[in-house]
Each structure stands twice: as structure tokens, then as C-alpha cells.
Amino acid sequence: MILRREIYLIQLLFVISLESCPSGVAADPAPPNFYPPAQPSVESQSHIDSRVEKLLSQLTLDEKISLLAGDPADGMSTVAIPRLGIPKLIMADGPQGVRAHGPACSFPSGVALAATWDTNLASLYGQALGREARARGIHIQLAPGVNIARTPLNGRNFEYFGEDPFLAGKMAAAWIRGLQSQGVAATVKHFVGNDEEWRRMEIESIMDEQTLREIYLRPFQSAVEEGGVWAVMSAYNKLNGSPSTANAHLQEEILKGEWSFPGIVMSDWWATQSVDAITKGLDLEMPIPYQVTKESVSDALADKSLTTDRIDDSVRRLLRMMISMGFLDRPQKVDDLPLDSPVNDAPALDVAIKSIVLLKNSPVLLPLDRNHLQRVVVYGPNAQDTPTVGGGSGGVVPFRKVSFLEGIRMAVPQGTEVFYAPMPISEGFSLSKFLDFTIPIPLPPRIINIHRLISVSDESMSRDVSSQQKYISLMWDSHNPPPDIPKGHEGRVVWDAVIELPETGNYELQAEGHPEIRLDGNELGNPESYVLSGQKGQHIPLHVTASEVGRGSRHVSVQIAPVPAEATGLFPARGADAAVVCLGLNPEVEGEGYDRGFSLPLDQQNLIKEVAAANPHTIVVLSGGGAVDMRPWIENVPAVLQTWYLGQNAGTALAAILFGDENPSGHLPSTFDRSVDDNPAYHHYPGEFPEGQSWPVVNYQEGIFYGYRGYDRAGTNPLFAFGYGLSYSAFALSDLTVNPLPSGDGYSVNLQVSNTGARGGATVVQLYISLPGESTPRPLRELKGFQRVELGAGETRSVTIIIPLESLLYWQPTKKKWVHPEGMMNIEAGFSERDILQQVTLPPLSKDTLSDENVTILASKHAPPATTNPLH
């Protein structure tokens, strides 16, 4: 039987051949000694083990301790041991490209890649990013992220692969294999339960074992067992009572025990809470020795709370990764690889095009016929300043980027007029050609009785500034520290105030800098815009918290403005052939460290309504990592495109879809809620402060019934279903058959897929499993297979999807183990979770199917940890 570590080596040494690449995409030529040998042997693993043990025996205790934390010289690498030829391993963010090493290719976001439902493309994405890293000498890429889109409000959903653990796991595994084939180690993150950014460094996630196993651990398990990932990053949050960095159940029992993970567990930056984390399975503290220092480790060894064997295990894992990846035997930087590579740009563009989801096209407006366009008007804040990615450590500075506006202008014939109306309106710019609003302005409301509490380190001071400060605003930079916070320190500023409404009506709360807002006792998270209604003279309590005050350069402010009772518009552009409104989310409102609101700002909503009222050929183009509230306007527009964050080729990709050069083929990797109140997990979000406890807690009370599983259980309809996506063509399914595999360890699902339209295109065949006969409550259906299929006009193709027996297992909460289904199974096929077109019912699994041999194979992947890990 091949050991898991040998599988890792085989995956590492495998290189996808040029012939397997799609047309127009090829790998960069391999410089000498760039790729590892193509034919690994079992002896090579033995050789690796021998080298690891030899190096380990030559390290002093102080040198071993130095390898337990990042290099304090830069905070983005491990420590080098030059006398033994051990290099420092250079790390880089992140999932969408190489960050902070100069300009680099800005790839589409993780959720965009997931929307392609294309594992081959995920592998090519990983390979291209691997070449980007090797060109810059990067050993470890801090990606991919596989946290679950439990609600649409998580500020980092754009980095991840959607709501379904099966889809996320398959895409992540392919991504990892692609990256690591180029000699760069991947880091799957954030392990685990880091599914919102609100209070992410303090919050505790509470979930039962079934929810943990079936949903939130599954993508990580795929990354380990199928992807062969070499590093796992633990999260900031606590999980079920223990910090993630010091959670032995997660790190020792499950990850290193049950899954036989041979690599390293590193902390998220500054996440380690004590040296005890090393005893609980953490191997590497980042970014510097903070809790895991020479002194703290020495003290732990002295009181026997930490052993030298445990230190050896962590160092052994680091050395094993180094040697297996070739880091000790070649320069990591490959000078022959260009920093600005058109070869890497090709899959980035391919992903961008294939990820765009056509949400609505009724009455049919798209594609636009460019040869019959005389005037196109383009509106919205994202048209010219098109966001390439969300905010935070995943940001990449590209060499160049194509905005939506530029992409449209380049795609239309010479002579076609393309007019752009910016929003907000820039000073001195006239919109007389397009728009003339007449808006009655109500009396402005006031924020009164402002009190401010400032906390710096362990000291707090409170000062009543209501007589001096009439607004909530704070600005600072490296030369001008915030008031009352010493230069070089960080603090937290809390404002308690009251909103006084001058008139009955609607008002918009507008926030900059991502402060945390509590309004009238309700936690709002970090919304950029929030609309409230009230009566004349009403007083509404407002609580605003700004964290990390003093870090970098920021401006934090909160203000409130009246919402106009009436707004009328006149559009001389009414005769335009098409109006394209580009808006949605951006890095300022969606990113690391802050969650977002569900509603678009009022000015964006009003813009859609006014443009749609003036022009029946209105196309709404949405940027962002997930759903927003479309109820106020979606019935008034014929066409809506979800574009996610498309990276440096955003405009080129959008134009290809708008003008029919490409047929849209993206499918939603997350359910799009009609209302955030309908979301099955929203009522347990973002969390609460239990009495007597200083940190917040989020309880995953919905269990496994979140996302589409929760909608199915409640019998309610989302706005757009999981897996949904329209095309300029039409597709059909037929002849679904299911046969046991000759080996007895799964099923072969076969069906016919037809393109019944007049043009070529692609769709995603999705397989779902339903287990209606179980004693344990199960979802109505769960994704267990998928395949993206490209078909010419009128073409029919046979598709085969394998469902391994293992994928039918589910966690039985009473027995506390993985079990096989007890009753019949339904295998369903369709083009979305709500568009099921074919179904076959299978009898319960027989004793022959569950032979001793098969049960042993399945159990080996989920067995409790052995007393001694064979990899130790």
C-alpha cells in the first residue's frame, strides 16, 4: 500500500504536459533543473527521510528553536541555518497573485475561479501562479483560502471558493497540484471556522462535530488528501473553546493523525497566543518569534510542558517539506522566467471570461451586436476604476489592467460613441448630456452627545468630548498619529453618540474606514452604507468602534444624510443603443478585517433605477465576492452580469461577453439570497457577547443546513440558486444511467448532454445525492460531482462522472463516526441545485458493496489517530 507521504511526492513530481493545455495556453519553457524529474521512485522517499534525519541530528537545540518561528528580520520567511545549507524560505501573499514583490499578474479572485467549475483551469491557474512565484524567488505561497461562504457578508468571501465544501475542495486540490508542480509550496488557510471577518482576532466559533466534519473541514481534507498541500495556516478565531493555533483536536488528532498530513502547520500572522501552541500541533509561528521565543520554549522545556520530541517533530516537518520540494538543491528564483509574462496572463484571462455569470437576460438583450451600435453610455463607480480584487493581503499590483470602460471602448467599431458618466460626479464635470436631477434636500440630521473612549495597550482613558467634537471622524498617518495615542502605538477608539432625527423619513448612515457599528443595540458589522427609518425628534443610540488606530494611514468617519423623498431624472441619452451600469462592491467595502453590508449604497440603487427608467436596454454589471440586495431594481432591468473580481483583464473579459465573442458559462458557487434575512445562517451572525465574557461568540446553530441546504430545508426560494448560470445557448440532459464500478468502490454516472441552441457554448453538469431514508436528518440534496462541458451548436456528448463510495459517507452524530447510508439513494443531475432534470433511485448499499476490503479502505481515511504517527 502506498503511504500518504509517497502520494505527496508523486503529486509533487507530476508535471502536466503541454499537450494537455487548452488551445492558446502553454507553459513557459522549463529552464534547466526547474522541474523535478518526471518519474519518481519509492527509493526517493527513503532518501528524503534519510536526509531529513541527518540534518535533524546536526541541528543544535537553539537552531531547532529558531526554526519554530519566522525570521524577525523580515517577518515573511523562516530562519536560515547557513552552516547546514538550510535556506530561509521566502513567503508571499496570496490567492490572487504574488503580493508585495513588485508588480505581478493580477489573477481573478478565488470565487471567480470557483464560478468556472473547471478543475483543469484551476490547475492551470495554479501553474501560472507558481511560475510567477518562481520568477520572484518565492518558496511558499500563502494560498489558497478555502473557508466557507456561510453568509454573503464575510469580507473575504471573494478569496474563497464558495459555499459548498465539495466544490471548494475539488477546486482547491487542483489549484494546489498546479502550484506545487512548479516547485512552490501551497498553504491552505484558514484552519478552521474563520468564516467572517467581524472581530476575527477575538471571536470564538462554536459548532458541533457533524457540522465541523461534513462542511468546514471537508475542503481542507481535500487539500491535504487530494491536493498534497505542504502547509496549513491556522486561523485567528477560537474553535469550540480552544484557540485555533493551540487546538489539539484539529491539528494533532484530525490533521496530522487521521489525514496523515506530513507538512507544517503555521500560524496566521500574530495569531499565536502562547508557547503552548507548539505542544498542541503548531509547527511554525509567524511572522516572528512572538510567543514562541527562545526564552518561552526553554521555560516550557524546563517545566516539561514541552518536549524535545515535539520540537523535533515540528522541525522534521519543515525539513521534509524543504527537501521534498527541492528547496535545498536549487535556487528558488528562476531568472529565465519573465516577471511580466504573457503566458501567465493567458489563463488569467481565460478564468475571467469563464467566470462571468449571466444572471438575467429577459427580455433578451445580450449579446449586443457591435455592428449596429451607434451610442453606448457607461455609468457607475466601477466602470473606470474597476476593482481587480477585494481588500487586504490578497491584493496584487498589476503591471497593467483593463477597466470595464476601456474594454468596451476597445471592443466597439471605430465611430461608435462610448460616453462615460462618472459617479460620484467629479467637480467641474457636466452631465447635461446624460442626467439632470432635481432633488429636494430635507433638513440634515445631527449626531449629538458624543463620548469617546480610547484604549492603548493595557491602559484605558475616557474623556467627554461632546463639547469639543461635533462629529465622528479620525484621520492619521505615519507623521501625524491619532490624538491621545502615542506615536508608534496602536489603540482602539470607541464613540458613543446619539442620532437626532429632524424629520420623519429615511436616512443613510455612511461610514468610511470600516469602523464597527452598533445602531440602537443591533450589531451591523462594518457596512459602508445603512438605511434607517425614524420619526421626527427620535433619538437613536449609536456605538462606533475603530480598531488598529495608529496603524498605517487611515480615515475613519461616520455621518448620516437624508434620503431624498423624490428623485426625478431626465436622460437625453434615452436614445442610446445600450446603457451599461458598472457598480457593486470594491476593496473599500469588501476585504480582510471587515465584513460588509448586503445593500448597495443608495446612490448606486438610484442610479440603476434612473438609468433603467430612461433606457430599456440597461445592463447591470456587478463586481464583488457574492450576492447583494437586488430587490429594489432587478425587475426593472433586462440584463444582469455577476463579474466577481476579474483581475487585470476585467475589461477584456466583460467586453467578450457583452458583444458575444464568448458565450457566458459561469455558474454560481454560492446561493444568491433574495433578502439577507432569508439566509439560513444570518440570524446566527455575526455573534454576541455572552454575559461575563470578554470575547464574542458565533454559534453555528444552523449546523449543516446553511446555504442551499438551508433553503431546501425551509422550503424557501433564493433569488438565484446555487449552481445557476445562463448562456446565450440552451442545453438539455438525457439518458441518465448509474452503474457500479467493477472495483465495487463507487458508481459510474453516465448521461447525454446536448447543446440545443444555435451557437457553441459551455455548461456545467452537476450531480447531487439525496439520502431520504436516513434516521439522521440529511439535506434534500448535496453536490457530489460536476463537469464543465463545451459543445458546438447542436452537438450531443456522453459524459461520465465517477462517484466514489467514500463520498457517500456522512458523520453520524450519535455514533460519532463516518457511516454509510442506510436507505435508498437518489442521484440527480441538472444545471443548478434547483434545476434538476434527471434522476435515478438506487437501492440501499448491499453487504457485497460494503465488502471488508472496501470498508477497510474507507476506514483508513477516517480512522482515529494511531498511537505513533508513522510520519513522526
Same fold flag, 351-439+567-699 and 446-562: no
Annotation says 268 is catalytic: yes
**β-strand 491-500 against 446-456: which pairing, if any?**
antiparallel
Active-site residue, selected from the candidate residues 71, 118, 268, 345: 268
Say what the pLDDT of residue 535 is. 87
Four-way CATH pick for 729-860: 2.60.40.10, 2.40.50.180, 3.40.50.920, 3.90.1150.10:
2.60.40.10
**574 and 519 Cβ atoms separated by less than 8 Å:** no
State pLDDT tens for residues 796-841.
999 999 999 999 999 999 999 999 999 999 999 999 999 999 999 9
Q: Is 143 exposed, middle or buried (0-12, 13-18, 19+ CB in 10 A)?
A: buried
CATH fold of 351-439+567-699 reads: Rossmann fold (3.40.50)
Residues in the chain with pLDDT values less than 70: 1-43, 422-444, 457-470, 529, 563-573, 847-872
The pLDDT value given to residue 849: 55
Bridge-based pairing state of the strands 578-584 and 618-623: parallel
Distance separating alpha carbons of residues 419 and 574, to the nearest angstrom = 13
pLDDT of residue 856: 35
pLDDT of the residue at 7: 36
Look at residue 505 in the predicted model and tell me its pLDDT. 76
Of 396, 397, 345, 357, which Cα lies nearest the Cα of 124?
A: 345
Place of cell 501553474: 127
Domain 446-562 adopts which CATH fold?
A: Jelly Rolls (2.60.120)
599 contacts 628 by C-beta, under 8 angstroms: yes
The CATH architecture that domain 4-342 belongs to is Alpha-Beta Barrel (3.20)
473, β-bridge pairs: 557
pLDDT of residue 659: 98
DSSP reduced 3-state for 529:
strand
E-strand spans in 550-668? Answer: 554-562, 578-584, 618-623, 639-644
Q: Where are the domains of the chain?
A: 4-342, 351-439+567-699, 446-562, 729-860
In eight-state DSSP terms, residue 31 is P
pTM of the model: 0.85
Alpha-carbon separation of residue 357 from 122, 655, 657, 658, 719 (angstroms): 17, 14, 10, 12, 14
* 134 neighbors 157 (Cβ within 8 angstroms): no
